[in-house]
Amino acid sequence: MEAKQKENNRLIEFREAALGYGKRVVVDNVNLIIERGDFLGIAGPNGSGKTTLLKVLLKMIKPIKGSVYFGEELRLMKKPLGYVPQREFLDEIFPLTVMDVVMMGRYAPIGLVRKPTQEDYAIVHDAIAQVNMEGHVHRNFRDLSGGQKQRVLLARALASKPSMLVLDEPCDNLDIAGEQEIMELLKNLHDEHNLTVIMVSHLLTVMTNYVVKLAIIENGKLYVGKVDEVLTEENLQRIYNMKVKIYDVGGKKAIIGQP
Amino acid sequence: MEHLLASLSLFRYALAGILLVSFICSYVGVYIVLKRIIFVGVAIAQISSMGVAFAFLLHLPPMIFSLLFTFLGMLIMSQNLAGKKFSQEGIIGLGFVTASAVTTLMMAKSPLGIHEVEHVVYGDILAISPLQVYIALGMVITVITLHLLFYKEFVFVSFDYDMARAQGVNSALWNMLLYFSIGAAIAIGIMIAGNMMITSSIILPPINGLILARRLRNVFIVSCIQGVCTAASAFFISYFLDLPYGPTAAASSFVTLGFSFIVYKFRK
């Protein structure tokens, strides 16, 4: 019984996986379990392999060695993976409304040839409401601010009723208010709806104040643990090859690099 | 008036043919412009012509080889072959230049002679046959049916390929199907209306649609209306002023685009 429960909770497991392209290994010997309800942040210097890890999660590439296990929900696509890409990757030339974009989250469940039903519209409106974008339903996606676009992409992922959310640099190029807004929203989705959230970001300070678990890639190796275990000055100094100080500011961590 | 009606009756297949191909090329052109693959469209038009020249050289059916070359070209160009030392644009450019040169060389060596083959390779509206019109009609019905049935899949993979894939949508398959439908429209269009008219049809009306419309569905509608209207008006202009059809069609599209731009500026 307990084993079955454990099995149900395990969404993805990397087992001694070597990740990379062709024969070139970018991250080696990855052992990582993503369980239901996790709030995991993945960090690392530029070029460390964060995107490679993300591509394996999205099944865009297969591990070179080892294996990646996907739980039943993801394997059979009972509940898909709610992917939130970097908004800069989406071309603004498309004249799509917020409704059009969020409805894309329903396309897979709707199926071929069929049109969205009233139920699909209700789910989409719900998702839009969850990210507080109700007043913008008929606006063009390209006319929105960076933070608003990010919320719409989040709503699109939520509309698919995902087993987990995977976000690629959700706070990139946002102002402080925008960063906080997105992170509070993610925290709320995790805390209130027990949604599993995995995010990749190079903004350590922003991420570490919200996530529960942290994975850092250093020299092709992945280190995972509770935030306080992984986020130490010694670790950061070694990873980023510079002096790093972690300050406590009103209960929140501030990570400052020093010359 | 009597003269015009007599001429219309004489050129009814020509008119029907160009209206059909301008309609479908203006439609698929929206995807070409949205996906920023205009140069792919231009190169494919040239590769399609190469297929016709190849067929003439070896006494093979030109329509089949035009389609075959187009699909092969689309298959190659839909792959990301770029590396650190060369870009995707470089590969497309290579395809265009090679196809242009090989087409001319094959036409020169064709047993029918370069001038005889030229009007088939690059299209000649006066030579449009009833069979070509029926083939164009069949292609338009097939492509439009495909696009109406799978509109959401085509838009999804065009806008966000990775998200579609993460949702379990077979992005590669839908992308390939989209490219093939674009290829079919271009290949048959070139044989009927010529390279210049088709190249302008896949670019100018969609740009006009994007300038005038604010919703994606309306972009398709504006593009198709403009494509068909300018094709028809260019037909009559070229008839009355005794001008070559392809350049007249391209110029008409360009003038319409100019007016749209003024409307857009005033609306702003």
Q: Which of A181-185, B58-62, B219-223 has the highest mean pLDDT?
A: B219-223
Name the token pair of B43. Answer: 């190169």
Q: For residue A35, which phi and psi values (nearest 5 degrees)?
A: -110, 160
Read off the pLDDT band of A2 (50, 70, 90). low
Bridge-based pairing state of the strands A213-218 and A39-43: parallel
Distance of CA A244 to the CA centre of its chain: 25
The domains of chain B are located at 2-261
pLDDT at A130: 93
pLDDT at B121: 63
Q: How many CA atoms lie within 13 A of B191 on its CB side?
A: 27
Interfacial B residues in 34-63 facing A (CB < 8 Å):
34, 36
pLDDT at A172: 86
pLDDT at A252: 86
pLDDT at B228: 97
pLDDT at B211: 94
Q: Which of B150, B160, B165 sits opposite A112 (nearest CB)?
A: B150
**Chain B residue closest in CA terms to A162:** B167
Give me the sheet containing A81-84, strands edge to edge: A81-84, A164-168, A196-200, A39-43, A213-218, A221-226
- Helix/strand/coil for A68: strand
Residue pair B239/B187 in contact by the 8 Å Cβ criterion: no
- Cα separation, B95 vs B44, in Å, equals 8
Q: What is the secondary structure of B131-146 as a DSSP string?
A: HHHHHHHHHHHHHHHH
> What is the biggest distance separating any 2 CA atoms in chain A, rounded to whole angstroms?
59
pLDDT digits (tens, 9 = 90+) for A54-85: 989 988 889 999 999 998 888 887 888 899 99
pLDDT at B78: 73
Q: Which of A58, A91, A94 sits opposite B166 (nearest CB)?
A: A58
pLDDT at A239: 82
B120 pLDDT higher than 80: no
B122 pLDDT higher than 70: no
Mean pLDDT of B155-168: 92
- Rg of chain A on CA atoms, in Å: 19
pLDDT at A204: 87
pLDDT at B74: 86
The Cα of B34 is separated from the nearest Cα of chain A by a number of Å equal to: 6
Instruction: Count other C-beta atoms under 10 Å from residue A184's C-beta.
Output: 11
pLDDT digits (tens, 9 = 90+) for A192-251: 888 999 999 988 888 999 999 999 998 888 889 999 888 888 888 888 888 888 888 888
pLDDT digits (tens, 9 = 90+) for A4-47: 776 778 899 999 999 998 889 999 999 999 999 999 999 988 88
Contact yes or no for B163 and A59 at CB 8 A: no
pLDDT at A121: 97
Q: What is the pTM of this model?
A: 0.89
pLDDT at A1: 62
Residue with structure tokens 């670790």?
A: A235
Total beta-carbon pairs less than 8 A apart between chain A and chain B: 74
Contact yes or no for B214 and A95 at CB 8 A: yes
Read off the pLDDT band of B123 (50, 70, 90). low
Q: Which of B149, B165, B213 sits opposite A60 (nearest CB)?
A: B165
Averaged pLDDT score across all residues of chain B:
88
A176 pLDDT higher than 90: no
Contact yes or no for A91 and B34 at CB 8 A: yes
Contact yes or no for B160 and A85 at CB 8 A: yes
Name the token pair of B169. Answer: 């949508």
Contacts of residue B156 in chain A, CB cutoff 8 Å? Answer: 104, 107
pLDDT at B82: 65
Contact yes or no for A85 and B210 at CB 8 A: no
Read off the pLDDT band of B89 (50, 70, 90). confident
Q: For residue B35, which phi and psi values (nearest 5 degrees)?
A: -85, 5
B1 pLDDT higher than 70: no
Burial (CB count <10 Å: 0-12, 13-18, 19+), residue B134: middle
Mean pLDDT of B102-110: 87
pLDDT digits (tens, 9 = 90+) for B16-50: 999 999 999 999 999 999 999 898 888 988 898 89
**Chain B residue closest in CA terms to A97:** B215
Mean pLDDT of B157-163: 93
pLDDT digits (tens, 9 = 90+) for A100-111: 999 999 999 998
Q: Which of A80, A89, A113 sits opposite B166 (nearest CB)?
A: A80
Selected residue of B156, B163, B171 to mutate for chain A interface (largest A Cβ count, 10 A): B163
B3 pLDDT higher than 80: no
Contacts of residue B158 in chain A, CB cutoff 8 Å? Answer: 94
The Cα of B155 is separated from the nearest Cα of chain A by a number of Å equal to: 9
| Class (C level, CATH) for B2-261 | mainly alpha
